[in-house]
Each structure stands twice: as structure tokens, then as C-alpha cells.
A and B are shown apart, each in its own frame.
Chain A
Amino acid sequence: MTFRAVYEEQFAYVYRALRGLGVPETDVLDAVQEVFLVVHRRLAEFEGRSKITTWLFEIALRVAKHRRTAFAKRREELVSEVELSGEPDRNFELREQSMELDRILAELPLYQREVFVMYELAELEGEEIAELLSIPIGTVRSRLRLARGSFQRALHRRSLRERFELACPEGTCT
């Protein structure tokens, strides 16, 4: 498989994986590029030893981890730098959903979030997740169960909040 083909086919996958792993929208293109530069360098060695998505996710995990640390330090700075970033003409609803999922995932502890994103967003198999995270499959399942619980509670809180906001527009109830 050529580098270009991998890029074309897997761009969206890598993008979603990184966003799911907590790389903010303002940072995600850099992170995607970082992943694909690794792919470019190592594609010849890959030789289909695993599913390509598993390999890509493995790289994405490392990149996301590195960026989480780096980003935390310059979040403030970025917030003031990104006025013109993102995709201005992007579908509004999609954007809203991404922001919402971002917020919900941010509430999950990292160990839950990783498993949740790998299983629910990146659609990796349980065994693949176990291998990537070096944990037993039973742990994958229990983390997923916990993560789903957190996710569902966060969704529930969101709908409560929305109802409250509808009932009390612009803080009229406070």
C-alpha cells in the first residue's frame, strides 16, 4: 500500500482517534500530520503485521500522549491564538456535536477514555486494545463498562442542563 493511499483512506480515522484521545481541534491537524509523518517513515517496516488501524492507533496514542502534556502548558496561549482557526464553513451541528463529545470525554478519567475511544470510536477489537495498552482483556471490558457508565451519566447531565437552560434562558432563574 502506498503512503498516499494510506493517507487518503485513513485520514478521517486518525483524525477521529486523535480528537477522541483529547487532542483539541486547534491542535489536531498538527497531530494528524505527526502521525502520518511517522507512517511515512515506517510504512515499509509495517508490512501488515497487524491491522493498519491498530498500527495507526498505536502511533496516535503516542502522539496524543505527548501532545496532552505539551498542550496543557500552552492552552491559554492557544485560546487567544485560534480566533481564525477551525473550519468556519463547517456544518454547525457537526461542530456542536464535536464540542459536546469533547466535553463529555474530558470528564472521563484517562484510563477509561482511552478504552472507550478505542472501542467506540476507533472500533478496535477488545484483544487489540488489550495488546495496545498491555492490559488483560478482562480489564479492557471492565474499563469499558466504567467508561460507558461515565459517558451515559455525562449525557444525562447534559440533557438536564439543556432542559434547565430552556426553562431559564440567560440565567433568568438565578
Chain B
Amino acid sequence: MSMPKRLRHGGSSEERKLLSSAFEPSPRLRRALWTRMVATLASAGTVAAATEVAVASTTLAPATATSIATTGLLKVVVASAVIGLGSVSTAWVLEKETARNVIHEEKVTWVEEAPVKVLPAPRKVAAEGAPAAPSAMALPVVSPSVVPPVAVVERMDPKPEAPPSSAMQGSISESPRVERAEPRGEIQRDGVATPGDRASRLREEASLLRGARESLRSGDSQAALERVRAAKARHPDGVLLQETEAITIEALAASGSVREAEDRARQFLRTYPKSPYGQRMQAIVERGN
């Protein structure tokens, strides 16, 4: 007796639809997790992994001035991994570096293939694998011990297309690096938002909201309100408007503006009937009654 035909091919239209499209991750997640995983491999006691990249880049890449600079950068990467800054930015740097060096040698275990195609920033890599000269190459080769790693991280921030989701940040980036690595006045160029710009904006928006959430948690609802207002003013058409409103309502409730919180919670429930914050909003409505 053979197995039946699978529902996603032979089931009802509802079954097919549900089983075919649910749980489908976006390519953005795939890219973001890759960068994070590289960072994990490099920082979770496996400095060897990062060293491996360094070795690869020095032995396999053309012996040019750029490869020396690359090695310098990698030293900083290793250092930042060791001192606990081995977070997303480290991954970006690693990925950037591995891409730049176009390592195809099979000996290298987890960076065999240059992830050029998944990297958002425009990058020119010479056909022979000779590294292009990115701006970060201007960094002098310095010992990590004399360079404040934060500054290094900022300067090397490669502005990837996909910002890590906060779920990821929550688990791997406890340092306040995200705030420090906020966009530096290049939100838009020529009036056109590039993917990098969008990522920067989203990072900033998320960062502002995290700040608001933290204020709320620490009991400072006024500060939370100020922060969400700032977030809304800065990102009036932000991606996280639903979150902004949810935090605002909670902050209002916490600050004693019960009536306003309740009204807005009702409105919230109408606007976002299936929101994950629905229960909390409902609780605020009920509390006001």
C-alpha cells in the first residue's frame, strides 16, 4: 500500500494554500541568519573560526597591500569577538571581508564560497579575486588593543540590506552597539531610498522603540512616551507603527492616562484586529471599564 497523495498537491484548495505558503521564510531572513551564524562561529569560543578566515585571506588572497589591510581588519574582528562585541556587526565585517577575498579554496571550511550574491552593498570584485578597495581599507592596520572597538565597528559598518530582526539582536547582541551604529545622516540619497537606507531607517526605528520599551519596563512611562513620540516624529511612515502605537498605549496606561489609553486601545483593536498585541490592548480596555 503506497502513501497517499500529499495534501499540498492533491488536497482541497484551502489545504493546498495553507500548506504551500505558510511558514515560508523570506530571503531576508536567510541572509540575516547567515551573517549572525558566521558571527556565532567566530565568537562562541571559536576564535579559531575567525582565525581560519584570517589565514585564508592571507594565504589565498593575492599578496597585495589590500590583503595586508584585510588582515588588519580581521585582527580587529577577532579582537571584538573576544571582548564580547562579536555581534552582528562582527558578522557583517567578516562576511564583507570573506566576500572581498573571494576564497574558493576548499580547504577553508565555512567560507568557501564568497557570499557576494547575498551581500547587499554594491561591491566590485575583480574576476581574478583581487580585492576591490573599499572605504574601510583606508583604516590603518592597528593593534586592536589601541583602537576602541566601538569606533572600529562604526567605521566598518557595511550597511547590509537586511537588518537583523530584534529577535536575533535580543539573543546575540546585548551590547548597546545597535544604538551606536545608527545611520549617520545618509538616510536618503537623491531622494531614493536604497535597501541600505531602508535597513538603516528600520534599525533606527527599532532602536528608538527598544529604548521606549526599556523606559517603560523600568517604570519611567514619561520617558517612554517621549521616546515613542520621537520615534513617531522621526518615522511617521515607519515600518513599526503598530509597535509604536502599542507601546504608546501601554505607556499612557502606565502614566495614569487611563481614559486615553483605553480609547486608543479600542482604536488599536479595530485597526489591527489580529495583532499579536491584541490581548494586551484588550486588557487595557478591560482595565478601564
Which residues from B are CB-within-8-Å of A30?
167, 171
Q: Verify if A98 is at the interface (C-beta below 8 Å from B).
A: yes
Give the A-B pair count, Cβ closer than 8 A: 140
Bound-state Cα–Cα, A59 to B112, Å: 23
- Lowest 7 CB-CB distances: which A-B pairs, in order? A85-B167, A101-B22, A19-B23, A84-B166, A15-B25, A97-B22, A126-B3
Q: Which of B190-228 contact A (CB under 8 A)?
A: 202, 206, 209-210, 213
Closest Cβ of chain B to A10, distance in Å, is 10
Closest to B171 in A: A30
Closest Cβ of chain A to B28, distance in Å, is 7
Report how many residues on chain B are interfacial, defined by Cβ distance under 8 Å.
56
Q: Verify if B111 is at the interface (C-beta below 8 Å from A).
A: yes
- Contact B26–A121 (Cβ < 8 Å): no
Q: Which of B125-164 contact A (CB under 8 A)?
A: none
Knowing A19-B23, A94-B21, A98-B22 are in contact, say whether A123-B15 is a contact too (CB < 8 A): no
Which residues from A are CB-within-8-Å of B113?
2, 4-5
Enumerate chain B interface residues (CB-CB to A < 8 A). 1-4, 6-8, 14-15, 17-19, 21-26, 28-30, 32-34, 36-37, 40-41, 106, 109-113, 115, 118, 165-168, 170-171, 202, 206, 209-210, 213, 239-240, 242-243, 246-247, 274, 276-277
Bound-state Cα–Cα, A89 to B32, Å: 15
The contact of A101 among B18, B32, B34, by CB within 8 Å, is B18
Bound-state Cα–Cα, A120 to B209, Å: 39
Bound-state Cα–Cα, A20 to B209, Å: 31
Q: What are 8 inter-chain pairs, A to B, with CB distance below 8 A?
A: A7-B34, A84-B206, A94-B21, A97-B21, A98-B22, A98-B23, A126-B3, A141-B3
- Contact B22–A85 (Cβ < 8 Å): no
Q: Verify if A107 is at the interface (C-beta below 8 Å from B).
A: no
Which residues from A are CB-within-8-Å of B26?
87, 90
Chain B at the A interface: mostly helix, strand, loop or mixed?
Answer: helix
Closest Cβ of chain B to A146, distance in Å, is 13
Which residues from A are CB-within-8-Å of B36?
29, 33
Closest to B198 in A: A89
Bound-state Cα–Cα, A2 to B45, Å: 22
- Contact A29–B33 (Cβ < 8 Å): yes
Closest Cβ of chain B to A69, distance in Å, is 18
Q: Verify if A11 is at the interface (C-beta below 8 Å from B).
A: yes
- Contact A12–B30 (Cβ < 8 Å): yes
Knowing A33-B33, A40-B41 are in contact, say whether A119-B6 is a contact too (CB < 8 A): yes
- Contact B29–A15 (Cβ < 8 Å): yes
- Contact B171–A155 (Cβ < 8 Å): no
- Contact A29–B274 (Cβ < 8 Å): no
- Contact A87–B29 (Cβ < 8 Å): yes
Bound-state Cα–Cα, A90 to B240, Å: 12
Closest Cβ of chain A to B41, distance in Å, is 7
Closest to B170 in A: A81
Q: Which of A1-18 contact B (CB under 8 A)?
A: 2-5, 7-8, 11-12, 15-16
- Contact A2–B25 (Cβ < 8 Å): no
1/0 per residue, CB under 8 A from B, across A131-151: the answer is: 000000000110010001001
Bound-state Cα–Cα, A101 to B112, Å: 37
Most A-side CB within 10 Å, residue of B15, B23, B34:
B23
Which residues from A are CB-within-8-Å of B213?
83-84
- Contact B1–A29 (Cβ < 8 Å): no
Bound-state Cα–Cα, A86 to B2, Å: 39
